[in-house]
Structure 1
Amino acid sequence: MASRELLKWVRKLHLKKYREQESCFVIEGPNLVLEALRSDFQIANVFVIPEFKTSGRFKQMEPFFEKRSLPVQQISVPEMKMISETCLPQGILGVVRKKPRSFRKHDVSRWTKVILLDHLQEPGNLGTIIRAADWFGFQAVLTSEGSVESTNGKVLRSTAGSYFHLPVFEAISLRGAIKTLLQERFRVFAAQSDGDVIHFKAQFGEKTALVIGNERHGVKSDLSGLPVQTVRISRSGRGESLNAAMAATVLMDRITFSEAGNGA
């Protein structure tokens, strides 16, 4: 049985300052919990309601709980509602320990596809981009200072579990990261509504870095003097624009499956 103090602590983790202070974050729902169990992330706590504990999804997870020697704490439905961020909790919730990650200390020489996000603000956009990057085989997601935090609950739910499949490096210097990638012979492209080249004519290389800017203002970081080519997505209909996640998905697809790329 979980103590009142523990449940209050879990509830606090929905706030960014406590996630940073405790180096933990909350995941909700069977999909996220199962992907976390399959990963090498450390899981601190798991809470379930009685109804979920008798479900087939829980039975699927039991071998992972046993392998990790991870106790599962049963709580009441009102208690689950108290610690959940969603209106309709899915019956299971976990607390995961953050991984310390440093882009500066990471070996990027083996990367071939990476996406950099500049001052991205919408949690749904970031989560969807992480999910798409995972789908298209990108090796990493980098977010600049001023971007929404990747362990935000809405971000995590939008990733559909992909958060646990590829590294997300946060609060980086976009200019500094691009310089590092250029040294590793990456071609760097920045999405822009009036970009110099149409996306299906862009010459993506064996190593490609894609930059997606802020939802309203585009790329805000200073990239002057860097060999970054701007790319625009061709339009055949009447839509005013694509949001950041849609544009990123279109371009990641093109990078992955273009003849000049490394996809097939």
Structure 2
Amino acid sequence: MTTAPGSTSRRAAARTLLNRVPEVTAYFWIIKVLATTVGETAADYLNETLGFGLTGTSIVMSALLVVALVAQFRARRYVPVRYWLVVVLVSIVGTLLTDNLTDNLGVPLVVTTAVFAVALAVTFAAWFASERTLSIHTIYTARRESFYWLTILMTFALGTAAGDLLAERLALGYLTSAVLFAVAIAVIAIAHKAGLIAAIPAFWAAYVLTRPLGASLGDLLSQARADGGLGLGTTVTSLIFLVAILGLVAFLTLTRRDRTPVAASHTDDVLTGAEV
């Protein structure tokens, strides 16, 4: 039995128009901060509490990330459980990238911050040169998704380095640091609403800043009271945030409130990334 060329092309088009990442909603940012916090506390838990060490933790988490990415790339559209599992693991691995450079190799935080800032800029340049768009509404091919996840990895590494640099240089404490980063994100959001910052740079700037925000919150909850924290420990803190993530992901799976409509994906591609 043969298939008409027209019907084959229509089916192929339908497949490519299924966006593989979520719509940017309030739920997106809440889970992103929660995942970032888990990335900070889970890495500390494996490294210090379980005694894996920085190298052992890096190997285990990188292997799990590869497995999760394979599952994510095999999905033909956005699946909340797969997507957010990758985000959590990328958060951990991105944190470990910076920690390995600073703790194992002795690279100064000023240098690591500059290196990851350049790496992020190069990733953006390569993404745009290849796809002529940086829109996250049109992640419907493996190549675009590869650029997307590489960019996210760089944002986590940069956010870790920049956050640690500010924490060490300014010694603000966990609560003050969290408030500072939250205010910075709010300023970006207001500037975007006022038309002062375009959607794409505003999105990625906020994405970078949510990493040190989440890390500050994680440290505030998990670290000992003598060190300025609330003393919950990395185990309890990780469990609290993991349960919160699972609850929100289950809610989004049932309600589909963060799915990008197919028509919106197609329209946004014409805008060459003018919208986030």
Give TM-score scaled by structure 2 length: 0.24
Say which structure is richer in helix: 2
Q: Which has the higher contact order (CA 8 A, sep 6+)?
A: 2
Give TM-score scaled by structure 1 length: 0.24
